[in-house]
Amino acid sequence: MPADVTWRLNNEHATPTQLGIRYPIFLAPMAGITTPELASLVCEAGGLGALGLGASDACHAEAAINATQRLTSKPFQVNFFCHRVAPLDPQKGQAWREYLAPFFARFQQPTPTTLSAPYRAFDEDPALLEVILATRPAVVSFHFGLPSTATLRALRQAKIPYWVSVTRLSEARYAEEQGCSAVIAQGIEAGGHRATFDPLCEAGLGTTELLGHLIPHLKIPIISAGGIVNGQQIEACLTQGASAAQLGTAFIPCRESAASEAVRQRLRVAKETQITDVISGRPARGIVGPWQQDVDHPRRPEHAGYPYSYALAKQLAKLASQYGNVEYEVCWAGSGVAHLRHLDAGPLMTQLIAELTASAN
């Protein structure tokens, strides 16, 4: 296990390592949800905090990293999106606008006349790399693939470890070849966007099954993610061979997250989640609502693609909320949503650590 990403994994979980992480409990870097406060509290409790900066420009990314570094001296992960950028197909865009027109009409508005990408991919904004090199976070991770070889070379030269989320063995092998210090193995149970490099190639592997695919073939550490909400599940991942577990949905209800009150209320009553690509243009798991039940109809046209569809979805959600309808608000969540503990970050970490320790003994 490379020294720059090692963390102690004995049953006592008691020895700090070069990353200074006492427990193999990682906060998932959820864009729009993680905050400096949430990240720092996870760090201070002995886990690895995270910032989801995929939807941030360089200015906001730098501010979030600096704010977190003021709150904790411990290491944390920062995450960016590396989706393939393609121009909007005018015909697909028009067809998708027309298809969603009745949904906008429910709230007395026409569909927007234009579609634009709400944010850029990592390699489209060179200033993001400059922010990383200037602020030097402990770990940089990527979603939807890896950035350019030039970017990876710059990170290696700066001795900043980088990880990537993977959903299949071929992606993990490629990540290892490209110098990743670890991979985040995202099972199909995970909330939010599927990490597939190509959104049309879904392996459909569950958390346990994916881990079993990767362990015999990789030399770098594997961080298991997907549907994990308690310490017993964390220990099960470690027993199978993961080096740590990454939890996202478990932390959304925390007071320190940026989740809206509407999202928090939906999490309290949610029982089911489902994957659909009609919200953002890429497959993503969220709480079942009108997007999954009405919009994602078997005879719908092809959506406008990522992230153009996402821009339209967010406009519909905002419009609906003005009429008191929060069902269209994006509410990403994993398969463990029915078993969430609605605690602040500190007490939740205490609970997870106690469960993990009891399971390991």
- CA-closest candidate to residue 182, choices 259, 242, 118: 242
Reading the block at residue 135, the tokens are 């602020």
Locate CATH 3.20.20.70 in the chain: 3-85+120-254+340-360
Report residue 1's pLDDT band, with 50, 70 and 90 as the boundaries.
very low
What is the reported pLDDT for 159?
A: 94
pLDDT digits (tens, 9 = 90+) for 166-197: 999 999 999 999 999 999 999 999 999 999 99
Phi, then psi, of 203 in degrees rounded to 5: -75, -30
| 215 secondary structure, DSSP code | T
Whole-number Å distance between alpha carbons of 80 and 147: 9
For the chain, the C-alpha Rg in angstroms (whole number) is 20
Report residue 17's pLDDT band, with 50, 70 and 90 as the boundaries.
very low
Phi, then psi, of 86 in degrees rounded to 5: -130, 145
Class of domain 3-85+120-254+340-360: alpha beta
What is the reported pLDDT for 18?
A: 53
Burial 108-137 (b: 16+ CB within 10 A, else e): ebebeeebebebebbbebeebbebbeebeb
Report residue 116's pLDDT band, with 50, 70 and 90 as the boundaries.
confident
What is the reported pLDDT for 115?
A: 87
Whole-number Å distance between alpha carbons of 74 and 187: 28
Residues 6+ apart with CB under 8 A from 276: 283, 284, 286, 291, 292, 295, 296
What is the reported pLDDT for 263?
A: 95
Q: pLDDT at residue 74 above 80? A: yes
Q: pLDDT at residue 348 above 60? A: yes
